[in-house]
Amino acid sequence: MSDDQDAVCEQGVPLEGMALVDAGLLSRDDIRQITAIHMEQIPEGFLTSLGGHVLQSLFGHLSRSRWGLLIAAREIASGEVRGFVCGTMNTRKLYGEFLRQSVFLVVTRVAPRLVTWRRLRKAAESLLYPLKRDFRAAPSAELLDFAIADEWKGTGLAGSLFRAFVETMDARGVHGFRISTGAAMYRAQAFYEKMGAVRLGPPIEIHRGSETHVYTYHMRSKGAHDETDL
């Protein structure tokens, strides 16, 4: 998902009353709520334009795929999802697997929405950007999507989710991952930099006419994500 991650701009400590739930424990309702948060926080994104059904299917696939990683922050008292982060060990393999396993969905739900040249071009750009020359120096793993519900911004939830993502990637043997964020998303860039991500170089174009900054995050020694480091 190459949509810009916005509203991910705080760092903090693990929150009381909040459970970080990974793919094995996510319910269908959790996936539905994750989809709603994405569509609310990234209303202009290409993936949002494909509709809730397609997006929900993609998040469901992320939660099941061996190439995917999806972590939700679920409020213990209410059971409501308040934010999420997702990624992949290999973007190209994840999307290829999704397309192969979701042929009927692609034909019936996605194809009819790609009736304009602009949307068709954006779809191709979203699928093919990992092959760009600018990405050759970046890890194949990627943080794809990251969003926090409005009422939970500024609480430290973003930092908790990011650390959980790093720790889970590390446990899977991933040594580093990349992050793409829009050149105008200054607060998101500041967040990633404070968390230890390094900008790969000058901005690039994933979608025509829109500049994107690519960051890389490399795993550090144990204890690197202690509160004292933030």
Average pLDDT, integer, range 7-16: 48
Most confident of 1-10, 83-92, 103-112: 83-92
pLDDT band at 44 (very low <50, low <70, confident <90, very high): confident
pLDDT band at 23 (very low <50, low <70, confident <90, very high): confident
CATH of domain 18-229: 3.40.630.30
Domain ranges of the chain: 18-229
As a whole number of Å, the end-to-end CA separation of the chain is 27
Closest residue by Cα to residue 205 from 142, 129, 120: 129
- Asked whether residue 129 carries a pLDDT value surpassing 60, the answer given is no
Q: At what angle do helices 28-41 and 52-64 cross, to 10 degrees?
A: 120
Pairwise CA distance, residues 63 & 48, whole Å: 18
Q: If pLDDT is split at 50, 70 and 90, which confidence band does 221 have?
A: very low
Higher pLDDT, 109 or 187: 187
Q: Mean pLDDT, to the nearest integer, of 69-84? A: 95
Percent of the chain whose pLDDT exceeds 90? 44
pLDDT band at 122 (very low <50, low <70, confident <90, very high): low
For the segment 47-59, what is each residue's pLDDT rounded down to a tens digit? 777 777 888 989 9
Higher pLDDT, 11 or 218: 218
Q: Are 204 and 190 within 8 A, CB to CB?
A: no
Q: Report residue 183's pLDDT band, with 50, 70 and 90 as the boundaries.
A: confident
Q: Which two tokens stand for residue 115?
A: 């009736």
Q: What's the pLDDT tens digit per position in 151-178?
A: 999 899 999 999 999 999 999 999 999 9
Choose the weakest-confidence range: 101-115, 132-146, 156-170, 208-222: 101-115
103: pLDDT strictly greater than 70:
no
Q: Which residue has the higher pLDDT, 197 or 2?
A: 197
